[in-house]
Amino acid sequence: MAGSNLFTMLSAYRPGSPANPFENYCTSGLAYFLQRGHRMLTALFAQAAGAVGEPLAIVEVQSRLADAGIADLVLTFEGGTRAVVEVRIEAAPDEAHLAAFESLGNQWDQPPVFILLGLRSDDSPAPWRPVSWLQVVEALEDDPDPLAREFTEFVLRDILGLGAVPLDQAITTNRLYALGGAAIRRVFGERAHYQNSASRPLGGRYRYLGTTFGVDGGEMNCWIGLVNEGLPLSEHYHLMLASKQLPLREATEHPRATGDWKWPYWSGAGRVVRPITPDGYDELLGRLVL
């Protein structure tokens, strides 16, 4: 199995894939450890594929599967078993493209196994077999390799949204988005719908950045995240909650930086001077009048 340069892998992204660039970045980091033959990580996917004890022969990232589209990962084990792996970093995404992979795979001489790597280990549509990012962490956590430890921390904080997020990381990494997604799943259930929402940055500063979400599986009409303190944009941000329809406790005035955003209900937790914590998100989300 040919080795790959980690940084070359992380720079690869194919437009037209269902994945976004950050999701592809996560996928390529995972594939790096699989290509290097990481024993526990390989065993995790081998078990899911029904190829227990078999080493990996080929690891393909963003592999085009004819007209079905681009698969996040295709794993081929030495015994001949192939697995098509769908990688997810958010909850409840569009699943329409999965059927195309299934239809194509069923035409192969030896149909592949379908694996869904996501936020939960008990949530995948048949015939997809679930593997969770937390299981990836458990497979890597005792590895003495500093790079494996760094990837473990990356999964915990940038994908699973665990831990506090300093302001500089909130506006330059995926950690604020991960923190928001984790809080929404925790408060409103694992199947809650949400998506990342941010204004276009100006000189590295934002009017707002955070997470748009729905509380009842319907319209995504609430938002939580950071709002710039004023105009012109400054280096200061406030942690805020907004709602299009539901009233909020401890209501505040409409922030100037979102002057063209016509939602009527806003509530804030003040200027961010300390790292943003899961508890801070939970307290703010608790202000929704349901």
CA angle 193, 124, 34 (to 5 degrees): 105
From residue 155, alpha-carbon distances to 24, 31, 89, 98, 215 in Å are: 13, 14, 10, 24, 26
Ordered by start, the domain boundaries in the chain are: 6-154, 163-285
Which residue type is seen at 27?
A: T
Q: What is the pLDDT of residue 105?
A: 84
Cα 80 to Cα 234: distance, rounded to the nearest angstrom: 57
Total-model pTM = 0.91
In terms of residues, how long is the chain? 290
- Residue 112 is given by DSSP the state P
Could you tell me which of 254, 256, 222 has the C-alpha nearest to residue 241? 222
Could you tell me which of 221, 220, 226 has the C-alpha nearest to residue 270? 226
Which residue type is seen at 206?
A: Y
Q: Print pLDDT tens along the chain (290 aa).
A: 445 677 676 766 566 666 688 888 999 999 999 999 999 999 999 999 999 999 999 999 888 888 878 899 999 999 999 999 999 998 766 677 788 888 888 888 899 999 999 998 887 888 999 999 999 999 999 899 999 999 999 999 999 999 999 999 999 999 999 999 999 999 998 778 899 999 999 999 999 999 999 987 778 999 999 999 999 999 999 999 999 999 999 999 999 999 888 899 999 999 999 999 999 999 999 999 98
- Are 57 and 1 in contact by the 8 Å Cβ rule? The answer is yes
